[in-house]
Amino acid sequence: MFDIIKHYEKVSPEMVKKFSQFEESASIHESMGRINAFGGKVHPVWPGSRICGPAFTVEARPGDNVIVHKAIDMLKPGDVLVIAYSGDTRTGGMWGGMMSASAQAKGCVGMITDGAVRDTMLMKELNFPVFSAAINVVGTTKAFPGKINHPVVMCGVTIRPGDLIFADNDDVVVVPKERAEEVYEITLAREKKEEVLLKRIQNHEGTTYDLSGFCKIVESLNLSEEPD
């Protein structure tokens, strides 16, 4: 198999558009059976960032980023660049402002890594969403090989090229491309249900405790409770 793969199946643009309308990563995670979330191990470099699109995966050697520059040159509009860095956060120079500008110019909609980044204020100025495990200014070499568009593992989650990535202020979740339609329908139903619940709470009809039936669960636990 080639180290650098150019042709692979992606989640459809129509499905990306549908997922982009969701409010929260939590709903998608819950709808998949509480799997495929990064668990808060990476964060947006500024609050409020959102990313939704097909994964373009890169496996880079910690301390080096030459393969990342190659990947940027291959990006297609709508891609989400996913850089697996073995969780190494010692070199923020792995990704910076000029790379963000280059990726954005190629139509990339955001970057996610378990490594570190730098030049975060330029990223914000560009309005280019970046999620990383850390931030620092330490530079990298440009000498070692890597892989492009192979399956990678980040934060315990397997990401294949073309899988759907949804990242927001809370977390990053990965939807396998073959499950996208199924997960979309479940998430849509869940969000509609929560919209109704929110309105009932705001109308002072009750709290999550009684409106969601948690009161019955607590009662079944036979807890002793001090009288009013």
Between strands 134-135 and 152-154, the pairing is unpaired
- Among 12, 56, 22, 1, CA closest to 184: 22
pLDDT in tens, 12-62: 999 999 999 998 999 999 999 999 999 999 999 989 999 999 999 999 999
Per domain, the residue ranges of the chain are 13-178, 185-220
Three-class SS of residue 99?
helix
Question: Confidence band (pLDDT; 50, 70, 90) for 184?
Answer: very high
- Treating both helix axes as pointing N-terminal to C-terminal, what angle do 66-74 and 97-105 enclose, rounded to 10 degrees? 20
For residue 182, report the phi and psi dihedrals to the nearest 5 degrees: -60, -50
In this prediction, residue 122 carries a pLDDT of: 97
Answer yes or no: is pLDDT of 197 > 90: no
Report the predicted TM-score, pTM, of the whole model to 2 decimal places: 0.93
Spatial separation of the C-alpha atoms in residues 190 and 33, rounded to whole Å = 12
Domain 13-178 classified CATH 3.50.30.40?
Answer: yes
Buried b (16+ CB within 10 A) or exposed e, 153-168: ebbebebbbbbbbbbb
